[in-house]
Amino acid sequence: MKQFFTFVRKEFYHVFRDPKTLLLLFGMPIAQIILFGFALTNEVKNSKIVIADYAKDVASERIIEKIEATKSFEIEQILLSTKEIEETFKKGKVKLAIVFPATFNSDLSHQNKTQVQIIADASDPNTATTLTNYAQSIIMSYQREVQAMNRAPLQINTEIRMIYNPELKGATNFVPGVMALVLLLICVLMTSVSIVKEKETGTMEILLVSPMNPLLVIVSKAVPYFLLSILNLTVILVLSITMMEMPMNGNFLLLYFASSLLILAALSLGLLISNSTNTQQEAMLISLMGMVIPTMMLTGFLFPLENMPLPLQVMANIMPSKWYYIIVKSIMIKGLGFVAIWKEMSILLGMTIFLLTMSFKRFKIRLA
């Protein structure tokens, strides 16, 4: 046990004595949050929506027809009541709901004005705004259509409701993404580089020839980065909750548990990389190309996954960060508990266990 603690302490010395590592560790999360704070606009295609049609009249049916005709939307379901909307949203597939009141057409023809409600899942604010704008323009085009046959001025009021993230704060979208990115970057990059560095300086040879269990060498290398990642995660959370007004509606414990799973998966990946590389540059390059870039592309926080070609969507499923991203959003924004995200959690857990076993199995007790 003493060996283990000495080893961990040594690893901390390495980190704290290298200004570059320190800067990377603690400067990067802050830089990332600022960077991604400038939200990006995205075009949306084939977004799944639901419609609660209480009117079932000519007007509502004509609008539904128009919606079906566009490429932007795909009607998932016609609902019978507004209560179901909440549930479909929580499942996460549906981004937008349109509600026609029972008196939709009759109000229009008798009072020359009527109402329609658009509800959007605004945890991804870019998509939410784009989708509501689309929906509004379709309704407006119907209004112009009817206006052409009518002399009296007509008016369809759209009432927009953003749920989960009513103020459309970009933070809700990118903070979970940055969390995933930072955890992956630190764990994969730092572990692989620090192990390969020992190969380069020849110290790994000494450690292997020592009576210390080779697995212990690896585990004690991972511990500091695990702890530092948790610390980093806390920094990001504090920053984003206090300064970016990121909501935290769920359970902290659950969030940290999910994060630990991702960290473990990332550490195992870092270990796997260090096993098959011999120079720090190689390890760095593979970590960046193999982990960071795919994470940015395929997690869903920069580019909505639903717009991607099918092969990329399939690929995204093997990214631990995709599932982590969903979990974090569900916990922090929607305030959901374990029951609601057990599926994503089990996928992440499965991936972690797989990577961990792989890295232990592939670990070499010799040089070659």
Residues near other proteins (CB under 8 A): 2-3, 6-7, 10, 13-14, 17-18, 200-203, 205-212, 365-368
Least spacing, CB of residue 365 vs other proteins, in Å: 7
Q: Identify which of residues 110 and 364 has a Cβ nearer to other proteins in the complex.
A: 364
| Total residues belonging to the chain | 368
CB 304 within 8 A of CB 225: no
Tokens 């592939």, residue?
362
Instruction: Provide the CA 248 distance to its chain's centre, in angstroms.
Output: 15
Q: Identify which of residues 20 and 144 has a Cβ nearer to other proteins in the complex.
A: 20
Tokens 């929506």, residue?
49
> Which amino acid is located at 292 in the chain?
V
Least spacing, CB of residue 207 vs other proteins, in Å: 7
Q: Identify which of residues 6 and 157 has a Cβ nearer to other proteins in the complex.
A: 6
Q: Identify which of residues 97 and 190 has a Cβ nearer to other proteins in the complex.
A: 190
Buried b (16+ CB within 10 A) or exposed e, 91-128: ebebbbbbbbbeebbebbeeeeebbbbbbbbbbbbbbb
Q: Identify which of residues 143 and 220 has a Cβ nearer to other proteins in the complex.
A: 220
Least spacing, CB of residue 358 vs other proteins, in Å: 22
Q: How far is CA 147 from CA 66, 109, 158, in A?
A: 16, 11, 17
Q: Identify which of residues 7 and 104 has a Cβ nearer to other proteins in the complex.
A: 7
Q: Is 366 helix (H, G, I), strand (E, B) or coil?
A: coil
Least spacing, CB of residue 43 vs other proteins, in Å: 45
> Which amino acid is located at 247 in the chain?
P
Q: Which residues contact 39 (CB under 8 A, 6 or more apart)?
A: 125, 126, 170, 173, 174
CB 154 within 8 A of CB 115: no
> Which amino acid is located at 234 in the chain?
T
Least spacing, CB of residue 263 vs other proteins, in Å: 25
Least spacing, CB of residue 284 vs other proteins, in Å: 18
